[in-house]
Amino acid sequence: ATPTAVMVATGVGANNGVLIKGGDSLERAQMVKYVIFDKTGTLTQGKSTVTAAKVFTGMERGQFLTLVASAEASSEHPLGKAILQYAHHFHFFDECSPTSGTKSDAGDFKSGWLYDVSDFSALPGRGVQCFIDGKRILVGNRKLLEENGIDISTEVENFVVELEESAKTGILVAYDDVLTGVLGIADPLKREASVVVEGLRKMGVVPVMVTGDNWRTAQAVAKEVGIEDVRAEVMPAGKADVVRSFQKDGSIVAMVGDGINDSPALAAADVGMAIGAGTDVAIEAANYVLMRDNLEDVITAIDLSKKTFFRIR
Ligand code: ADP
Ligand code: MG
C-alpha cells in the first residue's frame, strides 16, 4: 500500500473510533489467524454484580459483608469494587440489591462504616489478604484458600460449583482461617460478543478466550459466546505465554484486552487491540485502541487492513 492509502485508512479508522498506531500493525491485521480475547471486561461488560452471598458459619450477614468489603476496600480489581458496592448497599439500606460496581466509584464507599485493616496485599490472579483486629481475612478463589491451608467443606464446594456452572465467579472468604462465606459474582457478556465471534469464524479467524478465572466459569462463558478454545486459570504473566504458543507455527495472532493484566499479552501479540475504556497501561501496550468499547471494531480493524492492503497489491 502507498503511504497515502495507509494515511487514508488511519483516518477512516479514527473516524470510527479505531485508533491505529503505525502502518505495520495496519498491515498485519489482515493476516490474523487467531484472535485471543480476554474474558473479564473484554468479552464481558466488566460490570461485575454480586448475585449471591452465603454465610456458612454463625456470623451475622451484615458483619460478614462489612468484613469482606473492608478487605476489598483497597483493591483495584473490578470484583473488589462489586463487593464493596453490594456491602455498602446492605449496610445503609439493610437489603441486598444487585447494583453493579464500576471502575470509578469505589472511592464513594470509604466513609466510616468499614473496619480498619492492616497489612493489605493484593495477590494477582488469586484475591486479597489483610488483617482486621489481628485476625487474617482472605478473599479470593480456591487457589488462594488452598495455598493458605483453609479447609473447604463439601457443602461450600458444592455451592461454588453451582455458581460456576451458571457462569458466575465464586469468591471464597476465610476469616481467622475459617471458611466463613461465599459470594457469587456475575458479569454479563457484551451485547455484540457472540455476533462478533461468529463473524470472525466466518472470516476464517479462530476465536480464543483467555482468563484468570476458574475453568468451570470460563467454560460456561465460552459456551455462551460460542468460543471453543478456552485457556483458564491463567496467571497474569501467563497471558503473554498463551499468545506466544499460538505464534509458534508462524501464525499471526491478535490479542484483545482491557486490563493491566493484559498488557504483556497485548505487547507480545502481532496485533494488540486495547479496549478504549480499559486501563492506560493496556492502551500503551497495544497497536490498536478501540475507543468505542465495542467488539465489532475488532472486525472493523481487520476489514480496514484488508481493504487497504488487498486492493493495491
Ligand atoms: P481476569 O483474567 O478474569 O481479569 P484475574 O487474573 O484478575 O482475572 O483474577 C483471577 C481470579 O482471581 C478472579 O477470577 C478471582 O477469583 C480472583 N481474584 C482476583 N482479584 C480478586 C479480588 N480483589 N477479590 C477477590 N478475588 C479476586
Ligand atoms: Mg480484563
Q: Which of 67, 76, 79 to mutate to test the pocket of ligand 1 (most atoms within 8 A of CB)?
A: 79
Residue 95 is predicted with a pLDDT of: 60
Q: Are the C-beta atoms of 49 and 82 separated by less than 8 Å?
A: yes
Q: Same domain, yes or no, for 181 and 62?
A: yes
Q: Same domain, yes or no, for 13 and 138?
A: no
Atom of ligand 1 nearest to the CA of 40: 3
Q: Same domain, yes or no, for 204 and 307?
A: yes
Whether the CB of 75 sits within 6 Å of ligand 1: yes
Q: Same domain, yes or no, for 76 and 125?
A: yes
CA of residue 258 to ligand 2 center, whole Å: 5
Residues 285-307 as b or e (16 or more Cβ within 10 Å = b): bbbbbbbebbbbbbbbbbebbeb
Q: Which of 213, 255, 262 to mutate to test the pocket of ligand 1 (most atoms within 8 A of CB)?
A: 213
Residues 222-243 as b or e (16 or more Cβ within 10 Å = b): beebebeebbbebebebbbebb
pLDDT tens for residues 157-169?
A: 999 999 999 999 9
β 206-210/32-38 pair status: parallel
Query: Quick one: CA dihedral 153, 156, 162, 163, positive or negative?
Result: negative
CA of residue 307 to ligand 2 center, whole Å: 30
pLDDT tens for residues 215-230?
A: 999 999 999 999 999 9
CA of residue 126 to ligand 1 center, whole Å: 6
Ligand 1 atom 19: residue of nearest CA: 127
Q: Same domain, yes or no, for 214 and 307?
A: yes
Q: Same domain, yes or no, for 231 and 182?
A: no
Residue 255 domain boundaries: 3-45+189-311
Residue 77 is predicted with a pLDDT of: 86
Q: Same domain, yes or no, for 283 and 207?
A: yes
CATH code at 148?
3.40.1110.10
Q: Which of 186, 202, 233 is the last residue of a domain?
A: 186
Q: Same domain, yes or no, for 226 and 303?
A: yes
Residue 103 is predicted with a pLDDT of: 38
Q: CA-to-CA distance for 127 and 132, rounded, in angstroms?
A: 16
Whether the CB of 294 sits within 6 Å of ligand 1: no
CATH code at 244?
3.40.50.1000
Give burial (CB, 10 Å; 0-12/13-18/19+) of 82.
buried
Copy the grid coordinates of residue 104. 470509578
Q: SS3 of 262, please?
A: helix
Ligand 1 atom 13: residue of nearest CA: 213
Provide the ipTM.
Answer: 0.96
Residue 14 is predicted with a pLDDT of: 87
Q: Same domain, yes or no, for 107 and 171?
A: yes
Q: Which of 77, 168, 208 to mutate to test the pocket of ligand 1 (most atoms within 8 A of CB)?
A: 77
Q: Same domain, yes or no, for 171 and 101?
A: yes
Number of structural domains in the chain? 2
Helices (H), the chain: 3-15, 23-29, 61-72, 78-93, 142-147, 154-165, 193-202, 215-225, 238-247, 263-268, 280-285, 296-311
Cα–Cα distance list, 69 to 65, 78, 114, 132 (Å): 6, 13, 7, 12
Q: Same domain, yes or no, for 169 and 288?
A: no
CA of residue 173 to ligand 2 center, whole Å: 22
Q: Which of 186, 209, 226 is the last residue of a domain?
A: 186
Copy the grid coordinates of residue 116. 480498619
Cell 453490594 identifies what position? Answer: 86
Q: Which of 155, 171, 186 is the last residue of a domain?
A: 186
Q: Same domain, yes or no, for 150 and 201?
A: no
Q: Which ligand is nearest the CA of 137, by number?
A: 1
Residue 102 is predicted with a pLDDT of: 44
Catalytic residue numbers? 38
pLDDT tens string, the chain, 313 residues long: the values are: 788 888 888 888 889 889 898 888 888 989 999 999 999 999 999 889 999 999 999 999 999 999 999 999 999 888 999 999 999 999 887 665 555 444 344 455 656 899 999 999 999 889 999 999 999 999 999 999 999 999 999 999 999 999 999 999 999 999 999 999 999 999 999 999 999 999 999 999 999 999 999 999 999 999 999 999 999 999 888 999 999 999 999 999 999 998 778 999 999 999 999 987 767 888 888 899 999 989 999 999 999 999 888 754 4
Residue 278 is predicted with a pLDDT of: 67
Ligand 1 atom 14: residue of nearest CA: 213
CA of residue 162 to ligand 2 center, whole Å: 23
Residue 313 is predicted with a pLDDT of: 45
Whether the CB of 236 sits within 6 Å of ligand 1: yes
